[in-house]
Structure 1
Amino acid sequence: MDVSGLPGFYAIAAADPGRLALIDADGSHTSYGDLLARVNQVSHGLRARGLGTGDVVAGVLPNGIDAVVMLMATGQIGLYHVPVNWHLTASEVAYILDDCDAKVVVTGPGRAVPGAEIGTEGLAEGQPVDAPGERTSGAVMWYTSGTTGFPKGVQRPLPGAEPEAIVPLYAWFLGEVVDLRPGAEVHLVTSPMYHSSPCAHTQFALHLGHTLVLTPKFEPENILELIERHRVSNAMMVPTMFHRMLRLPEDVRAKYDVSSLRQVIHTAAACPVAVKRQIMDWWGPVLYEYYGSTESAIAFAVKPHEWLAKPGTVGRPAPTFEAKIVDEAGMELPPGEPGMIYVKSSTNSFEYRKDPAKTAASMLGEWYSPGDIGFLDADGYLFLCDRRTDLIVSGGVNIYPAEIEAALLEHPAVADVAVIGVPDEEWGHNVVALVQPAEGVVPGPELTAELLEHCGPRIARFKQPKVVEYRSWLPRTPTGKLSRSKVRADYLGPNTSSSL
């Protein structure tokens, strides 16, 4: 059935109930009609617990049908839905649940979350399968990673309209930035849905009538097998996934047909130019990139052929967004000059839940900064340098760790790398590279000399590491972001200042 004229999941499911909505990690299939029936039951169940517009529901859930049901149920009855990272400690989970004032918490089997429902069955039991009355759009409230202080909920105002009134705007936006369209497409969920981008793409895949293929975690060869088996047409990934894909032996890579891919959207971290080129050499020009944050949403975007013309860019401002680069005094900088990135949009506003001071500190008037340093070229394309908090100043010169990491990752002996600045009395900071060798590679002085020689033609001498050390692993989040703050703390000891 052609769903291009239907405004989102609820309307599509009612009009085409036999359409395949979801293939879970265990291989089970759920139709749009069956998914909508469960979503409606849970919506009624939440209201039966006394929840009303603006209340909060939390899910401490792995990728699976329950996580999808909670997302779509809260989305039609005006609730805030808080997806909680189930990798957190019990005390960290408890902090988020208390801070967000969750009135109902749903978790999975075997997870000890005091007071939580196990799965959605209890909420759905005995409830009608028809749509609830007085439907109004909810919103997802993600908690930021909390790299500085406790995590905070990013809370947006509720739209105050039923989903069918607002979904077309978001569908248009996604079509503009990443060429996603309604139809018989297949979306592969590769990352935990408690993160903002995987969660948002899950929701909008259903609003576009696509079929979801869920994975519990990222395993490179398994991802290739799923792409071939289900003829996956679009997915969201992060650069570290590309790097792991490229580490597969050539004969393994050649076993799988990935010709069905049309959009592989990546975000969350800077992607080394060499890595992105190699993936497009393998998969074709299908990599779409966007840059933003949980707070700013998609602020910049670049399509494959644009990127090939301007390698390294994360794109131009997305529709409705404006951007500027400012210096430390708040003055706007000209093209080519690095500074703090600020964005604003007439369609995007937020506040940090219960923290007006943090909200105000992140703003410059109407402008918000994701905390990154970058520059705009003469054509308005943004190029990232690094996080402000990760900037290394050595001998009075700014050095961006991401640039050094990208150079080292081009070497086949490097599986992963983190570059940090270590305090030095003479220079202010020295550049230190912590390298995870590829499997079978023996670390030592010979490898160090080889890596430094490799850096020679790629980065200026003053940027090259003064020290190279080796690690068996490096801390990354489940979506692939390198935790440089943890790397620094582990390297420098427990009394490390967060400003280092």
Structure 2
Amino acid sequence: MVLLARWARETPDKVAAHFPDIGKSMTFDALDARSNRAAQWLIALGLEPGDGIALLMDNRPEFIELAFACRRAGLYYTPLSVHLRPQEVAYMMRDAAAKAIIVSPGVADLATALLREGAVGEVPRFAVGEGVDGYRSYDEALSAHPAPARLPERPVGREFLYSSGTTGLPKGIKRPMVAWENRTAPEWDMTWKSLYGFGPDTVYLSPAPLYHAAPHTFTIRRTITEGGTAVVMAKFDPLRALEMIERYRITHSQWVPTMFVRLLALPDADRTRFDLSSHRCAIHAAAPCPVGVKQRMMEWWGPIIWEYYAGSESVGTTVISPQDWLAHPGTVGRPVNGVKLHICDDDGNELPVGEVGRICFEGAPRFDYHNAPEKTAGAYNGRGWASLGDLGRVDEDGFLFLSDRRADLILSGGVNIYPAEIEAAIARHPEVAEVAVVGIPNADFGEQVHAAIVPRDPRADTRALQAALEALCKDQLAGPKRPRSWEFVDELPRSEAGKLLRRILKERYLSPS
């Protein structure tokens, strides 16, 4: 908040954010002024410090100006996925106690469905841009506050995010606001700044939706707040992403592994015709990246690819540099910020190096799931160590290697089988673009290992490929770990954040046909 005003004074004409797909840009001066006016409007609606609103918007400038407006007005704001169903929006608005909702024309169908099904109740509702039927005009509302004005001294508002869990209803993570008098204090976690080199010279490419936690944080808090420029794509397109890097001289970016797969699938002529020399830091997370995919990306882009493992809960973070990853392929790094990493069994006992167990962190600030004390309690063990529910192991140098989520563990004939180990073996085959391994019902063993494959060539002879993969698995995997069934698909089901949705693959096998 304070820093935005600083950049507006020092670099008023510098672009804070480009939206090339809709032909719009926003300078720091304009962002500062618009967010001040929007903050005035929100306060005039009667919203008190600590109240919240919901944003149901695709990637456009108003998303960013409203985020800063909420920070200035001492409000929480909850970004909602544009792919939610009306009942899911209703649940999240009710759980977050949102007192207003603002939508964009790009989600008009969903916004209309919310009205039809009574999902937003009687809360004030507004639409930006050209508007949506049944929603009041945001621009007209702002016209009552035509100029920036002094705002009351309120705590610094912030995002109120919901985890993108692959099962059940999303869980809210509501963190305390920073008091007005502490508004210039640095964040608890500033490691990203020294590791990745964010600053006023940053030009950051966001190819993902701003309502997701990582794109939201990197765009708003780590680029614009630090005086850098964000380039926000409407949606990911591999060829257009490369074009953006060249056109805007992108320095930093963030991706999920499926984007790497699509980038690598481009013809060589397309992959080599853009000047990517400005690109010095590419960050990825959200889902495990196959070793072969990341190696190919390193060969193409050079050793600029950083990876981290974390969650919206911020219970702990590991980071791996390009150089360390090349020396330890497959790792997601070592913990940062003084947090300690532990691998534990089901009883909370720490396991030796090399053994797979629950990944736990010690030393991070405590968090709570909003209105879900039982889920909060389940995230901590008896020693107070927190976990995201993932399984992994550490090597002798302390580098973490992910295995799976506990919910994805396959139990076959009393043997614990970790899909990630099998996927890593299969992904080494040059004709495999993506692979997912799940457990499906088996009358004799309880579950059997099933592999879903996306061939690199859609016209591949799948019988021959299956035979080759069976031979590879026989050579590299113990008997119980080898897939007993196979399928070849055009794509794997993933969440908007790039996380593999194994349950979608399993569902077709859960009931007899």
| 1: CA distance, partners of 2:188 / 2:277 | 28
| 1: CA distance, partners of 2:494 / 2:230 | 26
Find the counterpart in structure 1 of residue 11 from structure 2. 16
- Partner SS state of residue 296, structure 2: helix
| 2: CA distance, partners of 1:17 / 1:493 | 61
Find the counterpart in structure 1 of residue 118 from structure 2. none
For residue 489 of structure 2, the aligned residue among 452, 457, 471 is 471
| 2: CA distance, partners of 1:367 / 1:139 | 26
Find the counterpart in structure 2 of residue 187 from structure 1. 204
Find the counterpart in structure 2 of residue 159 from structure 1. 178
- Letter aligned with residue 276 of structure 2: V
Q: CA deviation at 1:458?
A: 4.7
| 1: CA distance, partners of 2:202 / 2:339 | 28
Alignment of 1:158-177 (within 5 A): 158-161=177-180, 164-166=183-185, 168-169=186-187, 172-176=190-194
| 2: CA distance, partners of 1:220 / 1:454 | 31
Alignment of 1:13-412 (within 5 A): 13-24=8-19, 25-109=21-105, 110=108, 111-112=111-112, 113-114=114-115, 116-119=125-128, 120-127=138-145, 128-161=147-180, 164-166=183-185, 168-169=186-187, 172-176=190-194, 178-203=195-220, 204-296=222-314, 299-346=317-364, 348-364=365-381, 365-412=383-430
- Letter aligned with residue 196 of structure 2: D
Query: 8 Å contact 1:423–1:430 — kept in the other structure?
Result: yes
Write out per-residue CA displacement over residues 300-342 of structure 1, whole angstroms, 9 at most, x where no aligned residue.
Answer: 1111112122221111111142221111111112222211011
Query: 8 Å contact 2:315–2:361 — kept in the other structure?
Result: no
| 1: CA distance, partners of 2:275 / 2:234 | 22
| 2: CA distance, partners of 1:447 / 1:134 | 65
| 1: CA distance, partners of 2:50 / 2:439 | 44
| 1: CA distance, partners of 2:43 / 2:100 | 11
Q: CA deviation at 1:462?
A: 3.5
- Letter aligned with residue 153 of structure 1: G
Q: CA deviation at 1:181?
A: 2.8
Query: 8 Å contact 1:417–1:436 — kept in the other structure?
Result: yes
Q: CA deviation at 1:171?
A: 7.5
Does residue 423 (structure 1) correspond to residue 429 (structure 2)? The answer is no
Q: CA deviation at 1:37?
A: 0.8
Q: CA deviation at 1:219?
A: 1.1
| 2: CA distance, partners of 1:126 / 1:7 | 24
Structure 2 vs 1, CA of residues 249 and 98 (structure 1 numbering), >3 Å: closer, same or farther?
Answer: same
**Paired residues, number:** 487
Structure 2 vs 1, CA of residues 162 and 192 (structure 1 numbering), >3 Å: closer, same or farther?
Answer: farther
Structure 2 vs 1, CA of residues 455 and 124 (structure 1 numbering), >3 Å: closer, same or farther?
Answer: farther
- Letter aligned with residue 90 of structure 1: P
Query: 8 Å contact 2:17–2:25 — kept in the other structure?
Result: yes
Q: CA deviation at 1:179?
A: 2.2
Write out per-residue CA displacement over residues 365-402 of structure 1, whole angstroms, 9 at most, x where no aligned residue.
Answer: 43211000112223222111111111112233322212
Q: CA deviation at 1:100?
A: 1.1
Q: CA deviation at 1:149?
A: 2.4
Structure 2 vs 1, CA of residues 378 and 209 (structure 1 numbering), >3 Å: closer, same or farther?
Answer: same
Query: 8 Å contact 2:316–2:361 — kept in the other structure?
Result: no
Structure 1 alignment gaps of length 5 or more: 1-5, 496-500
| 2: CA distance, partners of 1:377 / 1:123 | 57
Write out per-residue CA displacement over residues 78-124 of structure 1, whole angstroms, 9 at most, x where no aligned residue.
Answer: 21111101111122112211221111111111232435310242442
- Partner SS state of residue 420, structure 1: strand
| 1: CA distance, partners of 2:277 / 2:508 | 43
For residue 453 of structure 2, the aligned residue among 394, 412, 435 is 435
Write out per-residue CA displacement over residues 38-92 of structure 1, whole angstroms, 9 at most, x where no aligned residue.
Answer: 1111111111111121111110111111111122211232211111011111221
Q: CA deviation at 1:280?
A: 0.9
Structure 2 vs 1, CA of residues 457 and 255 (structure 1 numbering), >3 Å: closer, same or farther?
Answer: farther
TM-score for the superposition, normalised by structure 2: 0.89
| 2: CA distance, partners of 1:81 / 1:343 | 28
Q: CA deviation at 1:162?
A: 5.7
Structure 2 alignment gaps of length 5 or more: 116-123, 129-137
Structure 2 vs 1, CA of residues 179 and 440 (structure 1 numbering), >3 Å: closer, same or farther?
Answer: closer
Structure 2 vs 1, CA of residues 376 and 140 (structure 1 numbering), >3 Å: closer, same or farther?
Answer: same
Query: 8 Å contact 1:157–1:350 — kept in the other structure?
Result: no
| 1: CA distance, partners of 2:24 / 2:244 | 14
Structure 2 vs 1, CA of residues 122 and 288 (structure 1 numbering), >3 Å: closer, same or farther?
Answer: farther
Quote the sequence identity (%).
39
Query: 8 Å contact 2:433–2:456 — kept in the other structure?
Result: yes
Structure 2 vs 1, CA of residues 270 and 371 (structure 1 numbering), >3 Å: closer, same or farther?
Answer: same
- Partner SS state of residue 184, structure 2: helix
- Letter aligned with residue 152 of structure 1: K
- Partner SS state of residue 47, structure 1: helix
| 2: CA distance, partners of 1:10 / 1:17 | 9
Query: 8 Å contact 1:418–1:433 — kept in the other structure?
Result: yes
Query: 8 Å contact 1:296–1:370 — kept in the other structure?
Result: no
Cα RMSD between the aligned structures?
2.2
Query: 8 Å contact 2:154–2:179 — kept in the other structure?
Result: no
Q: CA deviation at 1:407?
A: 3.3
